[in-house]
Amino acid sequence: MQDDRPIVIVLAPDSFKGSLGARDACSAIAGGLRRVFPNAEIRARPMADGGEGTIDAVLAGGGERKAHDVTGAGGQRRTAGYGMISTPEGPTAIVEAAEIVGLTDPAGLSVAVWDRSTTGMGELLRALLDAGTRRFMIGLGGTSTNDGGAGMLAVLGVRFRDRAGQDVTPTLAGLARVASVDASALDERLASCSLTILSDVTNPLCGGLGATSVFGPQKGIRVEDVGAADDVLKRYADLVEGAFGTRAAHEPGAGAAGGLGFAAHLLGGLSRSGAEVVADLIGLDGALVGASWVLTGEGKSDAQTLAGKAPFVVARRAHAARVPATLLSGAVDRAALPDLGKVFAGCFALPEGPMTLAACIENAPSLLADRAEQLAHLWREAR
Amino acid sequence: MQDDRPIVIVLAPDSFKGSLGARDACSAIAGGLRRVFPNAEIRARPMADGGEGTIDAVLAGGGERKAHDVTGAGGQRRTAGYGMISTPEGPTAIVEAAEIVGLTDPAGLSVAVWDRSTTGMGELLRALLDAGTRRFMIGLGGTSTNDGGAGMLAVLGVRFRDRAGQDVTPTLAGLARVASVDASALDERLASCSLTILSDVTNPLCGGLGATSVFGPQKGIRVEDVGAADDVLKRYADLVEGAFGTRAAHEPGAGAAGGLGFAAHLLGGLSRSGAEVVADLIGLDGALVGASWVLTGEGKSDAQTLAGKAPFVVARRAHAARVPATLLSGAVDRAALPDLGKVFAGCFALPEGPMTLAACIENAPSLLADRAEQLAHLWREAR
């Protein structure tokens, strides 16, 4: 049975990491919904949280995709995509750290984490400054580096020297020998810039909850080296804070992206929730006006989802607009279901029966379409 | 958030075979629904289709559970449960063939299928006749026998003899030597009985779609012996039909329960859909009056579900009562989803993410409760 009554449905999923991007997720969900509501007005607003997929999500609302050649985390040249959009405050660059020093870049991973650097991040910012850009939104997340942002700072004019006064390489290995930091030649154009940091990480730079302790091992720092690496960043942070005359290492989010968050804070960056910023940029609130139902989702939902991930931000805004938001995820953690159930008008997983993770990932588009179709059947009958 | 508006929800699942019975499924679903609708009026009507669980389902609506010692399929004594209920037409016995010659009885399986017999079925019927019972509903399904119902007929007075005029054992092996059948001593009380056969099998007794070809191998008949076994039943059927002066081997359902359907037809039995009869006996239509929503389900849903399985019967009656029926199954066959979607207000599987069949079965009650809860969240918001 089909239903021809007009219905407005907003689709605002994050990407299903490892299987399909947010835009493809929208297409799959829309395909399933149309089998039940062929005449529905479907407003697709692919979401992101500042990590991978942020540029795509933001550009879906307008703007231009650009690219620039930079140095990757391991020293190899690579082409990094970024976006340029118009905002009421002026032209703004949307940058993803993962496009430059991403954890999914095999070339970067082929080099030891001690030798990786965020140099490319500085190169892209400098090029954008040269082109006249003064507004930046930088998505942190999914990086392979742990250099405290030293590579970026070095390109932008900060000098790192050893005891002999020689420049050291802005890597974790190089910073182990740093004895002085000089920020006097910092690119002065940065002072007139607006820098927004998009992140959902609130860790400080150092210590037990710091970048190295929490994220270092998954980037390749051996567990027995975590203490030494953390000490390197601690001394580095003291010297850099002294040179800038301001403190940032204890700020929530300083530990994002291997300490790139720390460096971005020193440059005047202000942290905002990536998902909130993206929701604003894509006009999610406007899309919710007059809508009957919102479908959001992500690869895997658990208690972290409620700590500001994209589906949570979608649900919060939908709630404000009095529109029910339903969650469709690859998997839903059972322990988090009671809390998730308070936020979402139903949380549903992709599998249609017992199946492996690999089968879920391989069939994600059709599973997503089928699940959306069945939810639509229920939705229609309940109305 | 909880909702205190009055809502009437009918729960009418079949059993989730291999994991939990229909009544336990109702409890699990009710538990999940109450987290969202604490004040809902929940009408639990566990369903069955004439197979395993039929007695339990019917007795949930009233009546008495009884038991009788009989001969199992392999010759061992066993206690078979049955039910006695009151109907407008008089006291009626609810019998499950699987309680007597069930495929899940290890003692029966320890004996070769050629040597198994439905003797116990005849014993129970005879005992019930002795007790004055004249109305029977016999659920066929889940049996381990393939004797064409000869065991039952023998106990009720039919003689099977070899060429030498000696009685043969009423097993497939014995029937291989049968040369004549004498029904003159058939228990004459049967003539005044009402016998309803509950089955969803429409196979004839013999041939390529017959009991032996289709169900024999899963009972232990070697594939290379299927032809010979089928020939035995064919000759047996000819002789029995001659003795009764009526034909039944080609009737749809004669092939149910290894040919027990054939014998039951000869005794005047009339086939009805097991799920339809159970739905009548448990008062499903009455429960649907004033209901807002029905949840049904089964262990696994596929195209067969639409061929008269319990959830389909529930959906059909719900449709007549203008109440949406949602399906909750352990697994939903993707190929059947388009057709299932036309019948159910949404079809949903148990898994909350990638998981094995064993994990699904082990956690079925909590998965079922969680899924029901999430559906209730969506249902409430859609209203």
Q: How far is residue A353's CA from residue A372's CA, in Å, rounded to a whole number?
A: 16
Structure tokens at B201: 């099998």
Q: How far is residue B204's CA from residue B256's CA, in Å, rounded to a whole number?
A: 8
Say whether pLDDT at B86 is over 90. Answer: yes
Q: Is the separation of the CB atoms in A93 and A86 below 8 Å?
A: no
- Among B5, B301, B323, B337, the strongest candidate for a mutation testing the A interface, having the largest count of A CBs within 10 A, is B337
Q: How far is residue A212's CA from residue A139's CA, in Å, rounded to a whole number?
A: 19
Which percentage of chain A shows pLDDT scores above 70?
99
Residue A2: what pLDDT? 52
The B residues from 313 to 342 touching A (CB cutoff 8 Å) are 324, 326, 329-334, 337-338, 341-342
Pairing type for strands B77-87 and B90-96 reads: antiparallel
Q: How far is residue A17's CA from residue A20's CA, in Å, rounded to a whole number?
A: 6
Q: Is the separation of the CB atoms in A158 and A182 below 8 Å?
A: yes
Rg (CA), chain A: 22
Contacts of A218 (CB under 8 A, 6+ apart): none
Q: Average the pLDDT over B249-253 and give the result.
A: 91
Q: Average the pLDDT over B187-194 and give the result.
A: 96
| Alpha helices per DSSP H over A183-259 | 211-219, 226-244
- Helix (H) or strand (E) holding A133, with range, is none
Q: Is the separation of the CB atoms in B347 and A36 below 8 Å?
A: no
Say whether pLDDT at B5 is over 60. Answer: no
Q: Rounded to 5 degrees, what angle do the CA atoms B29, B354, B345 make? A: 40
Inspect the interface and report whether the beta carbons of A378 and B381 lie closer than 8 Å.
no
User: Distances from the Cα of B321 to the Cαs of A91, A232, B189, in angstroms?
Assistant: 60, 73, 41
DSSP letter string, A266-326: HTT-EEE-HHHHHHHHTTHHHHHTT-SEEEEEEEEESGGGGGT-HHHHHHHHHHHTT--EE
Say whether pLDDT at B1 is over 80. Answer: no
Residue B346: what pLDDT? 96
Which residues of chain A are within 8 Å of residue B334 when distances are taken between CB atoms? 352, 366, 370
Inspect the interface and report whether the beta carbons of B359 and A354 lie closer than 8 Å.
yes
Q: Which residue has the tokens 């990590």?
A: A51
Inspect the interface and report whether the beta carbons of B353 and A331 lie closer than 8 Å.
yes
How far is A295 from chain B, CA to nearest CA, in Å?
11
Report the candidate in A53, A103, A62, A109 with the shortest Cα–Cα distance to residue A81: A53
Q: Which residue has the tokens 């070809």?
A: B213
Position B235 confidence tier, pLDDT thresholds 50, 70, 90 = very high
Q: What is the pLDDT of residues B319-370, one digit of tens each?
A: 999 999 999 999 999 999 999 999 999 999 999 999 999 999 999 999 999 9
Residue A124: what pLDDT? 98
Q: How far is residue A227's CA from residue A204's CA, in Å, rounded to a whole number?
A: 15
The A residues from 35 to 64 touching B (CB cutoff 8 Å) are 35-36
ipTM above 0.90, yes or no: no
What 8-state DSSP symbol labels residue A16? B
Q: How far is residue B109's CA from residue B74's CA, in Å, rounded to a whole number?
A: 7
Inspect the interface and report whether the beta carbons of B332 and A326 lie closer than 8 Å.
no
- What 3-state DSSP class applies to A81? strand
Report the candidate in A56, A9, A13 with the shortest Cα–Cα distance to residue A330: A13
Of all residues in chain A, the one with the smallest CA distance to B346 is A374
Residue A304: what pLDDT? 87
Say whether pLDDT at A249 is over 80. Answer: yes
How far is B278 from chain A, CA to nearest CA, in Å?
26
Q: Rounded to 5 degrees, what angle do the CA atoms B3, A339, A330 make? A: 110
Q: How far is residue A155's CA from residue A127's CA, in Å, rounded to a whole number?
A: 11
Q: How far is residue B141's CA from residue B277's CA, in Å, rounded to a whole number?
A: 15
pTM for this entry: 0.82
Indicate the residue of B300, B353, B377 with minimum beta-carbon distance to A351: B353
To the nearest 10 degrees (0 to 180), the angle between helices B22-36 and B364-382 is 40
User: Distances from the Cα of A345 to the Cαs of A326, B292, B375, B378, B382, in angstroms?
Assistant: 5, 18, 8, 5, 8
How far is B370 from chain A, CA to nearest CA, in Å?
8
Q: Average the pLDDT over A135-144 and give the result.
A: 93
How far is B331 from chain A, CA to nearest CA, in Å?
4
Q: Average the pLDDT over A53-60 and give the result.
A: 92
Of all residues in chain A, the one with the smallest CA distance to B334 is A352
Indicate the residue of B346, B354, B378 with minimum beta-carbon distance to A355: B354
Q: Tell me the three-class secondary structure of chain B, residue by residue.
A: CCCCCCCEEEECCCCECCCECHHHHHHHHHHHHHHHCCCCEEEECCCCCCCCCHHHHHHCCCCEEEEEEEECCCCCEEEEEEEEEEECCEEEEEEECHHHHECCCHHHHCCCHHHCCCHHHHHHHHHHHHCCCCEEEEECCCECCCCCCHHHHHHCCCEEECCCCCECCCCHHHHCCCCEEECCCCCHHHHHCEEEEECCCCCCCCCCCCHHHHHHHHHCCCHHHHHHHHHHHHHHHHHHHHHHCCCCCCCCCCCHHHHHHHHHHHCCCEEECHHHHHHHHCCHHHHHCCCCEEEEEEEEECHHHHHCCHHHHHHHHHHHCCCCEEEEEEEECHHHHHHHHHHCCCEEECCCCCECHHHHHHCHHHHHHHHHHHHHHHHHHHC
Which residues of chain A are within 8 Å of residue B293 when distances are taken between CB atoms? 382
Of all residues in chain A, the one with the smallest CA distance to B343 is A1
Of all residues in chain B, the one with the smallest CA distance to A357 is B354
Q: Average the pLDDT over A253-265 and give the result.
A: 96
Q: Which residue has the tokens 């699940």?
A: A371
Long-range contacts of residues A220-223, Cβ cutoff 8 Å, at least 24 apart: A220/A109, A220/A112, A220/A113, A220/A144, A221/A113, A221/A114, A221/A146
Q: How far is residue A376's CA from residue A118's CA, in Å, rounded to a whole number?
A: 46
Q: What is the pLDDT of residues B65-77, one digit of tens each?
A: 999 999 999 999 9
- Among A5, A298, A352, the strongest candidate for a mutation testing the B interface, having the largest count of B CBs within 10 A, is A352
Indicate the residue of B293, B326, B331 with minimum beta-carbon distance to A353: B331
Q: Which residue has the tokens 């061992």?
A: B76
Say whether pLDDT at B294 is over 60. Answer: yes
How far is B73 from chain A, CA to nearest CA, in Å?
34
Residue B19 contacts A where some CB pair is shorter than 8 Å: no
Rg (CA), chain B: 22
Q: Is the separation of the CB atoms in B85 and B92 below 8 Å?
A: yes
Indicate the residue of B357, B366, B375 with minimum beta-carbon distance to A354: B357
Q: How far is residue B212's CA from residue B147's CA, in Å, rounded to a whole number?
A: 10
Q: What is the pLDDT of residues A18-45, one digit of tens each?
A: 889 999 999 999 999 999 999 999 999 9
C-alpha dihedral sign at A91, A97, A101, A105: negative
Say whether pLDDT at A340 is over 90. Answer: yes
Of all residues in chain A, the one with the smallest CA distance to B356 is A354
In this predicted structure, which of A17-26, A92-101, A166-175, B118-127 has the lowest mean pLDDT? A17-26
Which residues of chain B are within 8 Å of residue A377 when distances are taken between CB atoms? 341, 344-347
Residue A5: what pLDDT? 57
Size of interface A-B (CB pairs under 8 A): 133
Higher pLDDT pick, B78 / A62: B78
Which percentage of chain B shows pLDDT scores above 90?
89
Which residues of chain B are within 8 Å of residue A375 when distances are taken between CB atoms? 346, 378
Q: Average the pLDDT over A153-160 and give the result.
A: 98
Of all residues in chain B, the one with the smallest CA distance to A329 is B353
Q: Is the separation of the CB atoms in A188 and A229 below 8 Å?
A: no
Of all residues in chain A, the one with the smallest CA distance to B323 is A381
Q: Average the pLDDT over B207-219 and give the result.
A: 94
Inspect the interface and report whether the beta carbons of B300 and A353 lie closer than 8 Å.
yes
How far is A91 from chain B, CA to nearest CA, in Å?
40
Inspect the interface and report whether the beta carbons of A375 and B370 lie closer than 8 Å.
no
Q: What is the pLDDT of residues A269-325, one digit of tens each?
A: 999 999 999 999 999 999 999 999 999 999 999 998 998 899 999 999 999 999 999
- Among A377, A379, A383, the strongest candidate for a mutation testing the B interface, having the largest count of B CBs within 10 A, is A377
Indicate the residue of A342, A350, A374 with minimum beta-carbon distance to B346: A374
Which residues of chain B are within 8 Å of residue A351 when distances are taken between CB atoms? 349, 351, 353-355
Burial of B296 (0-12, 13-18, 19+ CB in 10 A): buried
Inspect the interface and report whether the beta carbons of B378 and A378 lie closer than 8 Å.
yes
Q: How far is residue A151's CA from residue A71's CA, in Å, rounded to a whole number?
A: 10
Residue B61: what pLDDT? 80
How far is A280 from chain B, CA to nearest CA, in Å?
25
Residue A185: what pLDDT? 96
Residue A95: what pLDDT? 97
